[in-house]
Amino acid sequence: MPADPRPSRDTLGAAVSQASEKVSLLVREEIELAKAEVTTKVSSLARGAVAVAVGAVFGVFGLIFVLLTIATVLDSILGSKWLGFAIVMVALLLATAIVFLFAWRKLKVGAPKPEMAIDEAKKIRATVQPGAER
């Protein structure tokens, strides 16, 4: 009696189906990884942009106090009233410098790019497709 070829086809079909499901799951997980990476980088860029805005506000106030200090010094040449204005001006300018340094550090990351997800996708592609290693 000849052997029934049906069991090997069922086994092969199940293996192909299972491999297809796993590749599909892997692709979905890589997409989720890319989303998580981009979300993290966009969040950092948003914090940096807010810091730039806050720094700009401090800079405007600093400029106002510079002008007030100059006006007061010119108005009262020998008075000490200007010293208080000068101290406030220096404090605001220092705050401006600190906030802009923070913003620069946050914004230098550049455009969001899911590097880990791209590397993983390249590894998967090289594993799944022979000869796709570039």
Going from N- to C-terminal start, the domains of the chain cover 7-124
pLDDT in tens, 15-29: 888 888 888 888 888
Per-residue pLDDT for 99 more than 90?
yes
Exposed, middle or buried: residue 133 (CB in 10 Å: 0-12, 13-18, 19+)? exposed
- Between CA 76 and CA 70 the distance in angstroms is 10
pTM, 2 dp: 0.44
Residue 128, phi then psi, degrees to nearest 5: -80, -40
Structure confidence at residue 6 (pLDDT): 54
Structure confidence at residue 82 (pLDDT): 60
- Between CA 65 and CA 75 the distance in angstroms is 15
Report the mean per-residue pLDDT for the chain: 79
Residue 57 pLDDT level (bands cut at 50, 70, 90):
very high
